[in-house]
């Protein structure tokens, strides 16, 4: 089963939930850090680095001895990554999405594709948790190619229970994180911003077509608006994590809460049972 942990906005506790759930389960599993612009799961799991490799994107390379400046490459590029100036193509690497259209449609076959580094993928082992982290290089604009490489590496362990820590929000990186998963858990908090962005996240997950539920984090900090909304929409509330000062203290110190407070280990295991029983059944009926 592949479960993605997402949120409509940053700061709701998505990574907190991911690492504590992974540790509380106390079983061999795969944890993917797909929040490649700000990956921090490894700060908490503190595992051993096993290997790392570059994450690359195929971008065009033009043979000027063959190119006749016809502009077809620039016309077919949806992302304005190629401009033809004075009859010579100019490539904007950081705008390129690696779709390959320019090479496919070039009448003179003057375009080939070469790897272009956009980030790095690292593999860690922390007890029973195997972590694959994606990290976008500073100054690079596209997170999706790095997320794609993280998920590609995970294919080698596709039969293992997999938890994905998604980027926050509802943009393309989130959709790529959701794609190919079996269920989603949306982490939300009962504040006006939390409510607004949860609604956006719900619409995104619905578009992807995944069964999903909500975990209310910092329960008691705000009001019951999240629970009321979920009730009105028929969305299962999978669990509530209290607004506990001790959680904040441990998390600020880079500690995994379930390693120190047994009551929360029990709570996270109960939430996982709800995920399996509620979302697992919905996933099975949707297949």
Structure confidence by residue, pLDDT tens digits, 167-187: 999 999 999 999 999 999 999
pLDDT tens column, 31-47: 999 999 999 999 999 99
Domain boundary pick from 78, 93, 117: 117
Same domain (yes/no): 34, 145: yes
Pairing of strands 48-62, 82-85: unpaired
60 and 43 belong to one structural domain: no
**CA angle, residues 1, 11, 17, in degrees to nearest 5:** 30
* Rounded CA separation 56/119 (Å): 7
Residues 168 and 260 in one domain: yes
Q: Tell me what the pLDDT averaged over the chain comes to.
A: 94
On whether both 72 and 105 belong to a single domain, the answer is: yes
- What is the rounded end-to-end Cα distance, in angstroms, of the chain? 13
Alpha helices of 29-100 — where are they, by DSSP H? 41-45, 72-76
Strand-pairing partners, residue 164, are 4, 32
Which of 66, 89, 117 corresponds to the end of one domain?
Answer: 117
Whether residue 205 is found in the same domain as residue 263: yes
pLDDT at position 282 is: 55
16 contacts: CB under 8 Å, gap ≥ 6: 217, 247, 251, 257
Same domain, 92 and 182: no
Question: Per the confidence metrics, is the pTM higher than 0.75?
Answer: yes
**pLDDT for res 281:** 64
Same domain, 73 and 36: no
* Span 109-119, average pLDDT: 96
Contact partners, residue 246, CB within 8 Å, separation at least 6:
257, 261
Instruction: Give the pLDDT band (50/70/90) at residue 285.
Output: very low
Q: Are residues 99 and 221 in the same domain?
A: no
The H or E element containing residue 217 is strand 212-219
Based on the fold, state whether residues 177 and 215 are members of the same structural domain: yes
Please give the tally of structural domains in the chain: 2
CATH number at residue 86: 3.30.70.20
User: Which of these three, 102, 117, 132, is where a domain ends?
Assistant: 117
Residue 112 lies in domain: 56-117
Q: What's the pLDDT at 264?
A: 98
Measured distance CA(12)–CA(42) in Å, rounded: 19
**Same domain membership, residue 161 and residue 274:** yes
219, 241 in Cβ contact below 8 A? yes
99 and 203 share a domain? no
pLDDT tens digits for range 205-257: 999 999 999 999 999 887 899 999 999 999 999 999 999 999 999 999 999 99
Q: What is the largest CA-CA distance in the chain?
A: 70
Predicted local confidence at residue 151, as pLDDT: 96
pLDDT higher at 117 or 286? 117
Do 60 and 149 share a domain, yes or no?
no
Q: Is pLDDT at 134 greater than 50 in this prediction? A: yes
Unique residue bearing structure tokens 């998505």: 14
Runs of H (alpha helix) within the chain? 14-25, 41-45, 72-76, 101-105, 144-154, 172-178, 192-208, 225-233, 245-252, 262-274, 280-286
CB-based contact 264:172 (threshold 8 Å): no
Q: What's the average model confidence in pLDDT over 154-173?
A: 93
CATH number for the domain spanning 48: value is: 3.40.50.300
State pLDDT tens for residues 43-71: 999 999 999 999 999 999 999 999 999 99
């Amino acid at each position: 089963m592949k479960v993605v942990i997402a949120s409509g906005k940053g700061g709701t506790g998505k990574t907190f939930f991911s690492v504590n759930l992974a540790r509380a389960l106390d079983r061999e599993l795969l944890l993917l850090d797909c929040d490649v612009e700000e990956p921090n799961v490894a700060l908490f799991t503190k595992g051993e680095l096993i290997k790392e490799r570059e994450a690359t994107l195929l971008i065009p390379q033009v043979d000027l001895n063959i190119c006749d400046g016809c502009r077809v490459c620039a016309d077919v590029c949806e992302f304005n990554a190629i401009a033809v100036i004075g009859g010579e193509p100019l490539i904007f690497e950081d705008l390129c999405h690696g779709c390959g259209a320019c090479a496919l449609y070039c009448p003179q076959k003057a375009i080939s594709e070469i790897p272009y580094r956009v980030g790095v993928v690292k593999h860690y082992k922390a007890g029973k948790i195997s972590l694959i982290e994606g990290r976008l290089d500073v100054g690079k604009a596209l997170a999706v190619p790095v997320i794609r490489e993280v998920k590609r590496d995970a294919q080698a362990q596709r039969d293992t229970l997999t938890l994905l820590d998604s980027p926050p929000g509802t943009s393309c990186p989130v959709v790529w994180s959701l794609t190919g998963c079996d269920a989603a858990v949306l982490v939300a908090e009962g504040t006006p911003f939390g409510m607004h962005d949860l609604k956006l996240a719900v619409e995104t997950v619905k578009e992807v077509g995944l069964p999903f539920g909500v975990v209310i984090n910092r329960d008691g900090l705000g009001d019951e608006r999240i629970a009321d909304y979920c009730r009105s929409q028929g969305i299962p509330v999978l669990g509530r994590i209290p607004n506990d000062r001790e959680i904040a203290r441990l998390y600020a110190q880079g500690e995994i809460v379930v390693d120190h407070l047994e009551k929360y280990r029990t709570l996270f295991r109960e939430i996982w049972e709800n995920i399996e029983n509620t979302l697992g059944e919905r996933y099975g009926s949707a297949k």
